[in-house]
Structure 1
Amino acid sequence: MTEEPLSGGNNALEVVRVGDTVRRARDSNAAFAARLLNHLESAGYPYAPRHLGVDERGRDVLGYIPGATTDHPSQRAPGAYARGGRMLSELHEATAGHALAAGRECVLHGDPGPFNTIFRDGLPAAFIDWSSCRPGDRLDDLAYMAWTWCVQARGDVPIAEQARHLRELRDGYGGGEAERLLEAMVRRQGHIVEAETANAADPGLPPARRRHARAAVAWAASDREIVCRQWPLLLSALRPAGS
């Protein structure tokens, strides 16, 4: 059958569509991700692709989920942020206490940005690219999602709109202490700046990977500057009225 290259996710590995399936090159976390996806299917979690096995070329075979990723609020419908927060919360609930969580709070998606979320009619339908899934603490996943969905230096999004989306996503998730969430967002941004700065300076990496690293540093640093500069406004948006 014809193989159609897919783009839109935050993934550097080969990903192609073959009929109603997606074939994805395996990486070091592929076995864990497959176990997680099988567990989520058995638990009735509807926001992830099914893992269908490994093909003759050693690639993971996943169920194809129609839709598209987004990179601007104008591409998302009312209710998208709250629904995205609920999707993440249900993932954490479905894995809390499971052996895959390895004694941590739950299993994280690890990279639940809008670039790894399939949308249909402006509403999130599923998370894709589970290569970063791992045991961890809920706040790390929520903070990364809150940042990448709601805060952006590019795109001319008014800060009041960004703050409103942040509140909608956090409330959709089911809550989270305002200051701890903002602090966790800044930590995630800082980790990316630090790691990708090192990658950008690594002569052993291919030029394309180093260009990606420089772009990632600029992205995370500019969004971190927004969070720090607009901290009082974002904190107010996350706190109950009158507090």
Structure 2
Amino acid sequence: MIEERLTGGNITEVVVRVGDTVRRSPGPEFAVRVLEHLEAVGYPYAPRHLGTDERGRDVLTFVPGHTTDHPSQRAEGAYALAGTMLRRLHDVTTGHPLAGDRECVVHGDAGPYNTIVHDGLPVAFVDWDGCRPGDRIDDLGYLAWTWCVLASGTVPVADQAAHLRELRAGYGEVDPDDLVAAMVRQQTRLADLEQATLDNPAFGQARRDHARRAVEWAVASRDLVLRHENLFRA
């Protein structure tokens, strides 16, 4: 059995491909239940959970493609499709017992680093460990931030705002003020969370280095959005 190590997400565990499957250390039971529900309702934008292997690892279907970190790697319509994918997740989990007393089940980390793209278009969200009951606008705010906002590089802010407009259109009618506020709220949440990790000596150096980069990324992204708030709201 040949194992090929997979990379691309913000993960520390080893994830390997074996034929047409992906093997990884067991994820949360809740995530397994969510994936089973998504398969049952025909949601096409997630891998299928196939059980466990002889080593106790989760077995998932392999989704061909790659992740992206720049608009140049995405085709026309990619942002709208990402918004549609998230909207369908929220719709098929609204009112389900998995959502508890919240609006729906949220992915929780649907950034481009956890989205498989094929021919420039997103085809599946992966790494469902963070899925949980939550609110639509917060999940959408995180998706919008991580897909559309680039504080470093050469992507004009006007282009970033255009990507946000396309993503919002793909998701469906959302108040622009609410969406921008949700982006800032998610940036602040992540910055605070990772700062606490950075300040905690109980974590290893590698994890704290990741936390430092995450804080810098979140703060820089928030500063850019706040500087150009009117443009993003428009």
5+ long unaligned stretches in structure 2: none
Cα distance in structure 2, aligned partners of 1:142 and 1:226: 18
Structure 2 residue aligned with 1:134: 132
Q: Is the 8 A contact 1:72 1:155 kept in 2?
A: no
SS of 2:146 mapped into structure 1: helix
Identity %: 61
**Structure 1 residue aligned with 2:173:** 175
From 52, 60, 65, give the equivalent of 1:54.
52
Provide Cα deviations, 1:6-63, integer angstroms capped at 9, x if missing partner: 1112222221111110011124xx2111110011001000000000001122211000
What is the TM-score with the length of structure 1 in the denominator? 0.95
Residue 91 of structure 1: SS of its match in structure 2? helix
For structure 1, list consecutive stretches of 5 or more residues without a partner in the other structure.
237-243
Match of 2:139, SS?
Answer: helix
Q: Which residue of 2 aligns with 1:9?
A: 9
Q: In the alignment, which residue of structure 1 is the partner of 2:42?
A: 44
1: CA distance, partners of 2:181 / 2:227:
13
Q: Deviations over 1:116-150 (max 9, x none)?
A: 00000000000000000000000011000000000
The C-alpha deviation readout for 1:175-203, integer Å capped at 9, x for no partner, is 21111111111111011111111111211
Distance in structure 2 (CA, Å) of the matches to 1:143 and 1:187:
8
Q: How many Å separate the matches in 1 of 2:210 and 2:216? A: 10
Q: Distance in 1 between matches of 2:10 and 2:209?
A: 15
- Mapped to 2, the partners of 1:13 and 1:135 lie a distance apart of 24
Q: Partner letter of residue 152 of structure 1? A: L
Shift of 1:106: 0.5
Letter in 2 for 1:192: L
- Structure 1 residue 214: deviation in Å? 0.2
1:1-243 correspondence to structure 2 within 5 Å: 1-27=1-27, 30-236=28-234
In structure 2, C-alpha distance between the alignment counterparts of 1:213 and 1:15, rounded to whole Å: 21
Distance 1:103 1:197 in 2: 30
Structure 2 distance, partners of 1:107, 1:139, is: 12
